[in-house]
Structure 1
Amino acid sequence: MDLNIRRAVIHNVSDNNQDQLRDTIIDAMQKREEKYLPGLGVLFEVIWKNADEQEKSMMLDNLESGLQQQG
């Protein structure tokens, strides 16, 4: 992914509070447009980098469970 995309996404939401971040994520998922996927990926990358091992394990459990339900 182009680093400019990362910087742009982080710049666009860096001053947002939790409610605004939640709204951004929900809005992107509800619109289901491909153009929002890189931004969601950047947000997930930030979450992952700031998570401890227990939080990462919980995310992976949720991801695995969610993918199994989708399939």
Structure 2
Amino acid sequence: MNLNLRKAIIANIANNDQTQLEATIVDAIENGEEKMLPGLGVLFELIWRKSEEQERNEMIQALEQGVKEASI
């Protein structure tokens, strides 16, 4: 069995509009289920690939701050 998780996740959300995509992200975060992490990873990868360097730097800064706050 050759399962391409990335393709499956993208296919699952391919026709979603912005509202649905936001709901998917919020739901995954609020539920906190481990099984949602790969999907969030794929969504982050898509965002990262479409972002300019300045946007990437802002994401890294936000991530750094989030990690610091989460570790307190």
Tell me whether the two structures share a fold, i.e. TM-score over 0.5. Answer: yes
TM-score normalised according to structure 1 size? 0.93
What is the aligned-residue RMSD (CA, Å)? 1.3
Structure 1 unaligned segments of length 5 or more: list them.
none
Q: How does 1:60-71 map to 2 (within 5 A)?
A: 60-71=60-71
Give the secondary-structure state (helix, strand or coil) at the position aligned to 1:51: coil
Letter in 2 for 1:55: E
Aligned length: 70
Structure 2 unaligned segments of length 5 or more: list them.
none
Moved >6 Å (runs of 4+): none
Q: How does 1:7-18 map to 2 (within 5 A)?
A: 7-18=7-18
Structure with more contact order per residue of length (Cα contacts < 8 Å, sep ≥ 6)? 1
**Cα distance in 2 for residues equivalent to 1:26 and 1:45:** 17
| Cα distance change, pair 58–14 in 1 and its aligned pair in 2 (3 A) | same
Post-superposition CA distance 1:45-64 (Å, at most 9, x none): 00001100000000001000
Q: Tell me how far 1:3 sits from its aligned partner.
A: 6.6
**Cα distance in 2 for residues equivalent to 1:18 and 1:56:** 20
Q: How does 1:1-71 map to 2 (within 5 A)?
A: 4-71=4-71
**Cα distance in 2 for residues equivalent to 1:39 and 1:67:** 20
